[in-house]
Amino acid sequence: MVSIATGFGKSGFQEWLLQRVTAVFMLVYIGGLVWLCLCTKPLDFTAWQAIFAPLWMKIATVLMVASICIHAWIGIWTVTTDYIKPLWLRIPCQCIFNLGLIAYVIWAIDILWGL
């Protein structure tokens, strides 16, 4: 079995599972948020802020951004591995993308708790 330095395990099973789990979570979150927005009328600033005020919503939103980042990490890994063949180019690219994704999660925490 080839050891893939840029993957989690040997078989790719963790990646496969993480993709699916994060995908389902994101679908549920987006559906829930859309439903919440449609239910609050009028959706003015106070109502919008109130949606993100409760702790459970803040946690869910950070989990959502984390899910996006895990999902995108694996997706971008797939795409770069397919299209950027030279390792010396691909690994820095993946590092830059992944740092960006981690930065997004930290940014999301700041957005939600800096209110």
Residue ranges in contact with another protein by CB under 8 A: 20, 23-24, 27, 44-46, 48-49, 52, 65, 68, 72, 75-76, 79, 97, 101, 104, 107-108, 111, 115
CB 8 → another protein: shortest distance, Å? 18
Nearest distance from C-beta of residue 3 to another protein, angstroms: 26
- Cβ at position 107, least distance to another protein in Å: 6
* C-beta closer to another protein: residue 3 or 45: 45
- Residue nearer to another protein on the CB measure, 75 or 92: 75
The string of DSSP codes covering the chain is ----TTSSSSSSHHHHHHHHHHHHHHHHHHHHHHHHHHHSSS--HHHHHHHT-SHHHHHHHHHHHHHHHHHHHHHHHHHHHHH---HHHHHHHHHHHHHHHHHHHHHHHHHHH--
**Closer residue to another protein, CB minimum distance, 36 or 44:** 44
Q: Quick one: 2 or 45, whose CB is closer to another protein?
A: 45
